[in-house]
Structure 1
Amino acid sequence: MTTNCDVNDRKVAVIGCGFVGAASAFALMQSGLFSEMVLLDADKNKAEGEAMDISHGEAYARPMKIYAGDYDDITDAAIIIITAGANQKPGETRLDLVQKNVGIFKQIIPEIKKRNYKGILLIVANPVDILTYTALKLSGLPESHVIGSGTVLDTARLREILGNRLGVDSRSVHAFIVGEHGDSEIAVWSTANVAGVPIHKFCSMRGIRNHEEHMREITGEVKQSAYEIITRKKATYYGIAMAVKRICEAIVRDEKSVLPVSNLMHGAYGIEDITLSMPAIVGKNGVELQMPISLDGNEALALKASADMLKKIAKDAGVKD
């Protein structure tokens, strides 16, 4: 067993080669961020097959060493991405998965810990907030090095829907989904804007009335997005793969980008000792600083309720005192 304390900034590992893991690996191969990628899965043949399949496109991308491995092969990876877990089934919420996937993490994280890993854990498996908290408690890593993909995808969905409705490039829309990555998530309308223009004002400029009704409708559409996709194709994976790539970009390039990742709370908005999604500066050292985003009274109450629900679930799952 190796005990490598150093990390290779050009190496990434993906644990779990299901739909999300394979799609993330494919997106990362095309990104050019890494020169080496190791894939792990409980089914070694699956990992080997995905590595072979993805590597066959290298001639049309950038040189990259892609292979299936084991835990000893990931000790020097700059980022370990964990997508392993049971799939979300039609009619099943992300939180229904908690007991099964906490059990899986209790097998994975100790294997990483005993190899003296010093890089960054990026948790993607659902329910991501609970599993990020689980990984933090089990890994012994600094909290800044344990990040959940959180609501990065939900926020992209919100921006895309808003951009379509408002007739503007979604990249010019600035709005966040915060809280749980799931049914209790909150769209922060109070600070949403298009290129600095408050969202209500921009809606009026576009001739859109009944703002409150549209806000409720859009929030519901974002929350239902995953369920709608799962109903139609049994799983979601392309959108989250792009979110994984985006988070890795921020880390590898030390962009210090503000992303709504799942990270540990320390009293802001009356919430502490639970991980949930709040905008944070993300760079080479992981989460560098949580951004003090402004919430109105109702948003703050909804965030607290989301946190309280996650705390209860974490306690029931045996990962929180």
Structure 2
Amino acid sequence: MTNQVNHHKVVLVGDGSVGSSYAFAMMQQQVADELVIVDIAQDHIQGDALDLEDVQPLTAPLDVHAGTYADASDADLVILTAGVPRKPGESRLDLVNKNLKILQSIIKPVMDSGFDGIFIVAANPVDVLTAATQKLSGLPRNRVIGSGTSLDTSRWQVALAKKFNADLRTVNAFILGEHGDSEFAAYEAATIAGKPLLTVAKEAGVTQAELDDMEQATRVKGGSIIKLKGATFYGVATSLMRLSRAVLHNENVVLPIGAPVDGQYGLHDMYIGTPALINATGVAEVLEVPLSAAEQAKMVKSADALQAVLNDALN
């Protein structure tokens, strides 16, 4: 079966709340042909695979089963969600030392298996761990993708659609920078139904201060959810599924991700949140959103914060 033409195989490493939600999201659409779940909790992944396979008659066929790192040898994608979750009051950057050690224990056996596909990273702090994944694996930078600000962008779009009573499908707006405290909204380039966001806001009598409050609420929404229910997982899991589909189906679609910048925004040799063109090669092109001078300064500030943490972690 694994040798059939266009057989799409995905290995999920980490079957916690995000990982299992990702697996469930993958079962809802015919994105892949085989999904292998890897985790240190062996009984859990066996049970999860048995539970998930019962979804198939109601959705689409997907061979889902528990496995090991050796299964990555012929995988198209390895999805990394394994890591210590963020606690209430803890920033994503606080997690770096804990999760970098976990990451190191994963990348080596995956690469030793002969893996030659694409990594998609969601463990936090995701921008730092995405860069570390690329350095530890030695894969080309376009074949390591971070979930980046995909979830933050979804949250921002939801907030805008609610505020302006707009169809979500007409909201074109991005959160850029770190997936975390220094992220920011790109106001200048944002549109709703093809009209500039700032124009829509002015016509609706919504002030910049109100927009800024919405932006801040978006920035801390993850923490708010964690306080209420202990974790966030549906949004990022669905973002990962969407990224997986773009790669496996060679969609050539623009998505917000943690992207390997090489000159965009004046930044180099790091991963940071920005839209990119995604297809079977991974990151086909990193796109640069037009920014105001103030927004460009925010991007540089966010990049500086990430770079400092990455340098400390890798040293």
TM-score (norm 2): 0.96
Of residues 175, 178, 187 in structure 1, which corresponds to 2:176? 178
Of residues 38, 41, 46 in structure 1, which corresponds to 2:39? 41
Paired residues of 1:177 and 1:188 also in contact (CA < 8 A)? yes
Of residues 300, 305, 309 in structure 1, which corresponds to 2:301? 305
Instruction: Tell me which residue corresponds to 1:13.
Output: 11
Corresponding position: 1:256 with 2:248 = no
Tell me the amino acid that sits aligned with residue 140 of structure 1: G
Change (3 A) 1:89 1:8: farther
Of residues 123, 126, 134 in structure 2, which corresponds to 1:125? 123
Instruction: Tell me which residue corresponds to 1:160.
Output: 158
Distance in 2 (CA, whole Å) between partners of 1:273 and 1:63 is: 40
Deviation at 1:267, TM superposition (A): 2.5
Deviation at 1:7, TM superposition (A): 10
Corresponding position: 1:209 with 2:203 = no
Instruction: Tell me which residue corresponds to 1:91.
Output: 89
SS of 1:121's partner is: strand
What is the correspondence of 1:1-321 to structure 2 with a 5 Å cutoff?
Answer: 9-205=7-203, 207-210=204-207, 212-318=208-314
Q: Deviations over 1:16-37 (max 9, x none)?
A: 0000000000000111111211
SS of 2:220's partner is: helix
Paired residues of 1:113 and 1:140 also in contact (CA < 8 A)? no
SS of 1:317's partner is: helix
Distance in 2 (CA, whole Å) between partners of 1:222 and 1:28 is: 26
SS of 1:275's partner is: strand
Distance in 2 (CA, whole Å) between partners of 1:272 and 1:260 is: 18
Structure 1 residue runs of 4 or more that deviate by more than 2 Å after TM superposition = 6-9, 267-270
CA RMSD of aligned residues (A): 1.6
Deviation at 1:9, TM superposition (A): 4.4
SS of 1:150's partner is: coil
Paired residues of 2:188 and 2:198 also in contact (CA < 8 A)? no
Change (3 A) 1:209 1:64: closer
Q: Deviations over 1:77-103 (max 9, x none)?
A: 211100000011111111110000001
SS of 1:75's partner is: helix
Distance in 1 (CA, whole Å) between partners of 2:33 and 2:89 is: 39
Tell me the amino acid that sits aligned with residue 283 of structure 1: N
Q: Deviations over 1:124-148 (max 9, x none)?
A: 1111000000000011111111000
SS of 1:276's partner is: strand
Q: Deviations over 1:98-133 (max 9, x none)?
A: 000001111101111122211110001111000000
After TM superposition, the structure 1 stretch with the greater mean CA deviation from structure 2, 145-154 or 244-253, is 244-253
